[in-house]
Each structure stands twice: as structure tokens, then as C-alpha cells.
Amino acid sequence: MLAVGTRAPEFTLHSTPDQKVSLSELKGKKVILAFYPADWSPVCGDQMALYNETLKLFHKHNAEVVGISVDGKWCHAAFRENRKLHFSLLADFEPKGAVSRMYEAYDETKGSSLRALYVLDEDGVIRWNYLSPTGVNPGADGILDALEELDNAKIKQ
């Protein structure tokens, strides 16, 4: 994974079949990048549902969550609608896994994203990262702790 203190690489990916999101559009907010293997898998579905339920807590820290996998934009649209998700799922589809590779969050043997988390500060610098085993939902506690630490560091300045 990319090291804490590294500037997060810029990317632009489809968030819907006709819209794209660039990381730079989120500047000024903390960003949670949640790389995950696949829509519709039980662990991924639970993980994204948890982040959906935790959105209000993320927003209290001025943070936005973005899910990223190698699934296509149409697959993401159906998954997002089915799960009633209120955050973007980005399609790292073509070239397959290009963004996941940039973030060292790609499994070459399986051809999918790893279950990797990054928390970026408002300037786009990685401040926390975590790589979870593929079959384990990493939860939200680590993310919330990282966001709280960032807020506390800002208060002390």
C-alpha cells in the first residue's frame, strides 16, 4: 500500500454511466477511499452497507467515502440502487484496475481490487491506510479513529 504521508495519486473514474468523479473535486474534504473486490459479494455488500449507515458520522468529520472496484459502471449503478447507497461507487474498469494498481491495492492473481482503505486529509495526503484480508469486513472503527485524530491534530495547530 502507499505510505502514510504520500500525496494520493489523482484519478478520474465513472461514478454513473454518464458521470465521472475526480479525486481533485473532493479537495477541501477528507476522503475515505474504500477499495473492495466486487459488487454483490456478501462481505463487500456488508462493508458498503456499513459505510452507508456510518455516513452521518463521516460527514461530521467533513469526510466523504468513495467505493472503488473493478466492476463496471452499470454493475455499480445496479448495486448502488439495490443497496440504497448514498455515496459514489467508482468503476476502475478500463483499463482494468489502473487506479487500484496506482494505490497498490490490486490483486493480480484474482484480477480484482484488494480490500484496502485509505483516509486522505483535505489536501489529498494519505494519513491512514489499512489492508484487510479479502474475506473480512474491516468495519468503520479504524476510519473513524483516523478521522478523529486528524480533527484533533487540526485543533492543536
Q: What is the mean pLDDT of residues 86-101?
A: 97
Q: How confident is the model at residue 8 (pLDDT cuts 50, 70, 90)?
A: very high
Please report the sign of the dihedral spanned by the C-alpha atoms of residue 40, residue 44, residue 48, residue 54: positive
pLDDT at 155 over 90: no
115 within a domain of the structure (yes/no): yes
Please report the sign of the dihedral spanned by the C-alpha atoms of residue 58, residue 59, residue 61, residue 62: positive
5 within a domain of the structure (yes/no): no
Give the separation between CA 139 and CA 113, rounded to whole angstroms.
17
* Angular region, 148: left φ>0, alpha ψ -120 to 50, beta rest: alpha
The DSSP element (H or E) to which 59 belongs, if any, is: helix 55-60
Q: Which residues are catalytic?
A: 44
65 within a domain of the structure (yes/no): yes
Domain that holds residue 55: 25-156
Summarised one tens digit per residue, pLDDT across range 29-67 is 999 999 999 999 999 999 999 999 999 999 999 999 999
- Helices and strands in the chain: count of H runs, count of E runs: 5, 9
Summarised one tens digit per residue, pLDDT across range 104-127 is 999 999 999 999 999 999 999 999
129 within a domain of the structure (yes/no): yes
10 within a domain of the structure (yes/no): no
Give the separation between CA 82 and CA 60, rounded to whole angstroms.
26
Q: What is the DSSP letter of 98?
A: H
pLDDT of residue 156: 75
12 within a domain of the structure (yes/no): no
